[in-house]
Structure 1
Amino acid sequence: MTSISIRSNIQTEIREFLKLAIPLASAQVAQATTGFVDAVMMGWLGQEVLAAGGLATMIFMAMMMTGIGIISGVSPLVAEAYGAKQNRRVGQITRQGLWIALLLAIPGMMIIANLDGLMHQFGQAENIVTLADTYLNVMAWGLFPAIAFAVLRGCIVSLSEARPVMFIVVTATGFNIIGNYVLAFGKLGFPEMGIAGLAVASICAHWIMFLSLLGYMVWHKALRQYSLFKTLHRLEPKTMQQLLWVGGPIGITTLLEYGLFTTLTFFMGALGTPVLAAHQIVLQTLTVIYMVPLAMSYAATVRVGQWFGQRDWQQVRQAAFVSIGLAVMFLIVAAIALFTHSRQIIGLYLNLNDPANANVLNIGVSLMTVAAFGQVLDGVQRTANGVLQGLQDTRIPMLLGTFSYWGVGLTTSYFLGFHTDLAGTGIWLGSYIGIATAAIAFIWRFRGILSKKESRHPINGLTFKE
């Protein structure tokens, strides 16, 4: 293959990748902006509400993202079926994904609404637990639509239809932001609900997104060939088993990753309310930025999965490195912005002229400096994991993630946070050491598995069973 044709293939892959990644990133950033606005408004309600709301948000996100991880098998399986032109299978996977979403949401709601005892055991202050519990009792009702929306999103994006997701999420985000202000502060004749009002606005936005995307997929003519919701009432154990076989390890990996940051949040809370408030500011800021590499990982799963359906290993390799390379480029730019504008960013949440916030500001600047460059590593591991998901390789990455996040990250964070003078900064440093370990492990796994497949099945288009 000539250098011109290679360059042309790379340019084509970049273009196709960005056609998926840009709408997805727009949707993810818009959705994360809601959490950002939530955090800002929590800050307006006071340090205690900011600390408690951030803790509660992290708990809900951990549960929600675990559920989304478990149904993440929808995306690579639909992408493979799309690449192999198996239209009937696309509908089967989507329907059973919705059933799994429902079966996950019911116990998940019960867990979310009964975590006050656990928060007490982790040393959180009584007023923080009360406020966090108020938020979680309401947010529990948003778990099903959040997971079900992810099922539909995984399907439609794998069919190379990403724009509707962007429009729906952006619209729902606008509603959520307005609802936050109206309900939290009692505007337009509504009662002042405080932190509970933020939760009510958020669950309404989740339902709007789910029902809007469902309506689009039901009525859009081009999607009718897949019979997406035909015989929706019917359970298909074999298809559900395949989804859980691929998605179950993703869910466990997601739980471990979010569980790490939830545990670190508890660690920060044990160091005091100012440390926890600073942690929430930095974490919420990073969450908005993280949505871009997260969207890139979704696009990587789709592109790799589509080429996997065609058994084209050269294109699989190219799609993988395009996605990781673009993620790194974006995150380096973001790191520079965070490093040079940390005080201004913290000023969005708190009044920097108030002496009562001086301690939070100083801690926040230190954490932001560590996070600015550490999140580059986070983007690499996230995108590399998305590549592996496109190859439907999820069980070994689950083990690698367990070792990296908990064996390395958590233990290092605990040591640096509680046995050195680094305190909260040490907790963040330790987490990024674990994330760096995961990034290296996932890239090593991808190179190994692709080399094995190329040696076993060198001819594109060869059908096989592993």
Structure 2
Amino acid sequence: MGLLGHTVVQLADNIMVGQLGTAELAAVSLGNSFVFIAMSLGIGFSTAITPLVAEADGAGNKADGKSALKHGLVLCAVLGVSLFGLILLAKPLMHMMDQPPEVVELAMPYLDLVAFSLIPLVIFQAFKQFSDGLSQTRYPMYATVVANVVNIILNYLLIFGSFGFPKMGIVGAAIGTLVARILMVLYIWYLLKSKKKFHDYVTGFNFRDLEKKVMNKIISLGFPSALQMFFEVAIFTAAIWLSGVLGKNAQAANQIALNLSSMTFMFSMGLGVVAMIRVGNQKGLQNFKELRRIAQSIFLLTFFVTIVFATLFLWGRNWFPTLYLDLDSALNLSDNTEVVFLAAQLLLVSAFFQISDGIQVVVLGALRGLQDVKIPTFITFIAYWLVGFPICYYLGLHTELGSAGIWIGLLAGLTASAIMLYIRFNYLTKKLIVQS
């Protein structure tokens, strides 16, 4: 639920902005494509904190847990500011990507504010990963729930100009996102500080006393983890850009399917966090047989959960897209009808990759718990960019499949990733059991 909160912010923006028209929805999609890439690096990097805290917790070493949080906060703050700067530098690329001009014009001011919201978001992630490492996942969930309530209220007031507030369109959605993420950081810090179990961990920091060894450890785990998430998010971002080449309606349909798929993916990603925590605990105890048993149990649970989501997508693929658009609008009737038709096709493909997407992220979480990050990074690059992207490009732009072809490429990449990562986990855990 905590991870789902990040996606629900985008869901609220998409549904409420979609009432303005397909051009506005496509603009949010284009702007968020840049933010998603940066967010993947920030969230991926912050995951290095969880296995270190989980291992320290399993070994009963409180000092190491606090050290991981302190150094992680410093690195995440620096990374958040850097990502904001990089997005500002990358903005001119929008004009070079063969995107609809009206979409680019709308996306520019939206992107400025949402990019700035990455700074509090990445800092929040440091607190979240720390709390997860201590097996206390509910406090980040509370913070994301509060943030989503604030975001929806501000969206209603600022997008449509309700109750005398200025009507700001998609810029209003961006302001809502920024304010909600700032409050999210403040609220989780308040929650953790007020709990006796966490108080000593999250207070009394001396940020002038930083240890190079701990910084290097977090970077050595965080950088490959960031790349793993980047490779996956980047191929979905490429799907947004390829869809934009096909037109604003194809891009709007892609955004609807991507937003729905991202929501179900967060449940699997949450189970991936569970795998990372529990594997990290058992690594601290040096109990590798139990580590393997627990991880495989989580893999099986993920399989059952994704089967449910696949069935849901098959059942509702023609209805879900209608939630994002105003089908009663005579002005946009033709565009909206086409978007619903295209999105239904994409959700059909998405139903099938629910399983492979879920399995690959939960196995990746288990490998992070083992602090095995370098080889999985190469695996994700091969799966998404040597297998998935060429298929996306060819089927999407050079066959009649169009948007559906792009998503078939995503399915191929995710499936390749799931298979190769599981082979890596199976090999590594058997080796550790024999050695112990």
TM value normalised by structure 1: 0.90
The alpha-carbon deviation at position 298 of structure 1 amounts to: 0.9
The alpha-carbon deviation at position 30 of structure 1 amounts to: 3.4
Q: Does 1:375 align with 2:354?
A: yes
The alpha-carbon deviation at position 113 of structure 1 amounts to: 2.3
Q: Percent identity over the alignment?
A: 31
Partner of 2:137: 162
Structural mapping, 1:311-330, within 5 Å: 311-330=286-305
The alpha-carbon deviation at position 247 of structure 1 amounts to: 1.1
Distance 1:237 1:140 in 2: 29
Partner of 1:203: 178
Partner of 2:106: 131
Q: Is contact 1:176–1:201 with CA below 8 Å preserved after alignment?
A: yes
Partner of 2:71: 96
Distance 1:219 1:199 in 2: 31
Distance 1:351 1:444 in 2: 46
1:193 equivalent among 154, 165, 168: 168
Distance 2:168 2:29 in 1: 17
Partner of 2:242: 267
Distance 2:222 2:387 in 1: 24
SS of 1:160's partner is: coil
1:234 equivalent among 209, 219, 231: 209
Q: Is contact 1:87–1:225 with CA below 8 Å preserved after alignment?
A: no
Partner of 2:229: 254
Q: Does 1:411 align with 2:390?
A: yes
Evaluate the alpha carbon distance shift between residue 227 and residue 359 of structure 1 in structure 2; reply closer, same or farther with a 3 A threshold.
Answer: closer
1:445 equivalent among 407, 424, 427: 424
The one-letter code matched in structure 1 to 2:393 is: Y
Q: Does 1:393 align with 2:393?
A: no
The count of aligned residue pairs is 432
Distance 1:94 1:146 in 2: 16
2:190 equivalent among 208, 215, 218: 215
The alpha-carbon deviation at position 278 of structure 1 amounts to: 0.7
Q: Does 1:296 align with 2:271?
A: yes
Partner of 1:65: 40
SS of 1:383's partner is: helix
The one-letter code matched in structure 1 to 2:292 is: R
The one-letter code matched in structure 1 to 2:123 is: A
The alpha-carbon deviation at position 445 of structure 1 amounts to: 0.4
Partner of 1:309: 284
Partner of 1:356: 335
The alpha-carbon deviation at position 225 of structure 1 amounts to: 4.9
Partner of 1:32: 7
Q: Which whole-Å deviations, capped at 9, do the CAs of 1:349-400 have from their partners, x for residues lacking one?
A: 1244633322212211111111112122111101110010000000000000
Q: Is contact 1:92–1:239 with CA below 8 Å preserved after alignment?
A: yes
Q: Is contact 1:91–1:228 with CA below 8 Å preserved after alignment?
A: no
Q: Does 1:144 align with 2:119?
A: yes
2:29 equivalent among 51, 54, 57: 54
Distance 2:202 2:310 in 1: 44
1:121 equivalent among 96, 101, 116: 96
Distance 1:267 1:106 in 2: 29
The one-letter code matched in structure 2 to 1:404 is: A
Evaluate the alpha carbon distance shift between residue 356 and residue 259 of structure 1 in structure 2; reply closer, same or farther with a 3 A threshold.
Answer: closer
Q: Which whole-Å deviations, capped at 9, do the CAs of 1:237-271 have from their partners, x for residues lacking one?
A: 21110001111100011111111111111001001
Q: Does 1:81 align with 2:56?
A: yes
Distance 1:30 1:74 in 2: 20
Distance 1:323 1:451 in 2: 17
The one-letter code matched in structure 1 to 2:66 is: G
Distance 1:316 1:119 in 2: 46
Gaps of 5+ in 1: 1-25, 458-466
Distance 1:121 1:449 in 2: 44
CA RMSD of aligned residues (A): 1.4
